[in-house]
Homo-oligomer: A and B are copies of this chain.
């Protein structure tokens, strides 16, 4: 019987490549997507298409309305920064306003509950410490601590079979992630990375800037459409 894995899937490039990696390792995939008061649902639509493309076993979309308790540029009316260069984004030591307090702790907690319920062995999460070094909950030491939490705080952990947290792209650059995705046949045209929710990707927010730079470095054209002005 194939091993089961819960894959956090936002519909973006990173999580889609991560899902493809899990699939290539022979896991039966249980995809998990959250609707959490982000200002658009473009990425949710993308997550559905990517999950279907990879023929996942199950795709759960959980409505998690955090707008009442969490404030960030992604969940409220704070301004999303645009027009920053990659150097400004990656080199920035400040935590960006798109930081959502507790986001990865919340997502991993729910993934953990789901994994324990379906008796999965692992959780895949597409966090990246290179491009998003500003987020404390994207760093390897955060995931290491979460692993320790699982050992003491869950039935499976106490029984000596803790659910694993897999972060296969955590130390890759965006270009390396894209290369990995190309080799695994990831349908990049179905993914969505832009923080804004317009018809086409803006090309200017931090997420678009990093994505475009990655494709440029690989020498492959990003198949999604961007606004004309860029």
Complex CA gap A101/B149 in Å reads 13
Chain A residues with a Cβ closer than 8 Å to the other chain, count: 42
Q: Which one of B95, B116, B136 contacts A102 once the chains associate, using CB atoms below 8 Å?
A: B116
Q: A145 contacts B137, CB within 8 Å?
A: no
CA distance A127 to B69 in the complex (A): 22
- On whether the beta carbons of A117 and B101 are closer than 8 Å, the reply is yes
CB pair B64 A69 closer than 8 Å = no
- How far does the alpha carbon of A154 sit from the alpha carbon of B102 in the complex, in Å? 6
Of B64, B69, B71, which contacts A32 at CB under 8 A?
A: B69
Contact of A100 (CB < 8 Å), options: B70, B102, B113: B113
> Chain A binding site: helix, strand, loop or mixed by DSSP?
helix
The residue in A137, A139, A153, A155 that gathers the most chain B C-beta atoms within 10 A of its C-beta is A153
Partner of A112, one of B105, B139, B141, B158: B105
* Residue A49 lies at the interface, judged by CB distance under 8 Å to chain B: no
Kindly list chain B residues whose C-beta atoms are within 8 Å of the C-beta of A116: 101-102
- Chain B residues near A114 (CB, 8 Å)? 69-70
Least CB distance from A131 to B in Å reads 18
CB-CB nearest in chain B for A159: B95
Asked if B69 and A110 sit within 8 Å, CB to CB, the answer is: yes
Please, which residue of chain B has its CB at the minimum distance from the CB of A30? Answer: B69
14 contacts between A and B (CB under 8 A): A60-B68, A66-B113, A70-B114, A101-B117, A101-B154, A104-B153, A105-B105, A105-B113, A136-B157, A137-B154, A141-B152, A142-B149, A145-B145, A145-B152
Interface residues of A (CB under 8 A from B): 32, 60, 62-66, 68-71, 95, 99-106, 109-110, 112-114, 116-117, 136-137, 139, 141-142, 145-146, 148-149, 152-155, 157-158
